[in-house]
Structure 1
Amino acid sequence: MAFSSGNTSGPMADINVTPLVDVMLVLLIIFMITAPMLTHKVKIDLPQPSHNTPPPDKLLEPIRLKIDRSGALYWNDTPVDELGLKAQIAVIAQQTNQPELQINADDGVAYEVVARVLSDAKSYGLTKIGFTEAQ
């Protein structure tokens, strides 16, 4: 650090620590006020896990629905039209243990086609719907 005598006309090399002390005191006061609030406990009633539920007997094979670029539908690699798709979805929705419907939509397919399939699946009551990557 440089010491200055009163005769120098150049810039001072001393650090002015007053603003730094002011900021540190303000931060200290803020932390002193907010720290007790952080330890305040909020009672939340969380659901407890049930250990009595048996695991499913067997895992069902998922249904693969492929939608190609032109909008054609393939139910487990078998071509199907829209009415056939609705019939298949209705049959699956009737089951108590529904398999997962895995939708594999091509990158170039119109969003309207995918939205229509999702809407049909939801309207028939399918609850397990997923998406897979194109292969």
Structure 2
Amino acid sequence: MAFAAVRSDQGSMAEINITPLVDVMLVLLVIFMVTAPLLDHRMDLTLPRDTSRPPRPPVIVALEVAPGDVFRLAGQPVAPARLQALLESQLRDQPGLVLKLAVHPDADYQSATTAMAAANRAGVANISLD
């Protein structure tokens, strides 16, 4: 029961040499086996506990800009010249102040930029555009 290795009537049969593939795989296996223990860098740390109170929700103050240079801070009409001073006093009383700026669609662009510039000069860091 011997098998013939040569086929004379059908031509030669192509074979894939897998020896280089096995060599590469064995080298990679050895590399991973050597480097895997080195990848474990653990440090014993004592982390501080969070003992602080939960943060208070921010105070939201509404500033409305209406057509005709009309400003309303918390529902009260304000002159454009006094807007910065009122915002500074609000910020002094409530340091985490969030200014909610609502601009009417018919208001001038200059009025909206005046309100934002006054808030910036007053030191308001959080402005929410509505």
Scaled by the length of structure 1, the TM-score of the pair is: 0.52
**Residue 75 of structure 1 aligns with which residue?**
73
Answering whether residue 101 of structure 2 is matched by residue 108 of structure 1, we say no
Greater strand fraction, Structure 1 or Structure 2? 2
Q: Work out which of the two has the higher radius of gyration on C-alpha atoms and give 1 or 2.
A: 2
Q: Secondary structure at the match of 2:105?
A: coil
Scaled by the length of structure 2, the TM-score of the pair is: 0.54
1:83 maps to amino acid: A
2:77 maps to amino acid: P
Q: Secondary structure at the match of 1:83?
A: coil
Where in structure 2 are there 5+ consecutive unaligned residues?
1-48
2:54 maps to amino acid: P
Report deviation, 1:124. 2.0
Change (3 A) 1:118 1:77: same
* Deviation sequence 1:42-62 (CA, Å, 0-9, x none): xxxxxxxxx846531x32431
Q: 1:60, 1:102 → 2: CA distance?
A: 11
Superposition pairs of residues 17-28 of structure 1, within 5 angstroms? none
Report deviation, 1:110. 0.9
Aligned pair count reads 82
**Residue 98 of structure 1 aligns with which residue?**
96
Report deviation, 1:94. 2.8
| 8 Å CA contact 1:92, 1:98 repeated in 2 | no
RMSD across aligned positions (CA): 2.2
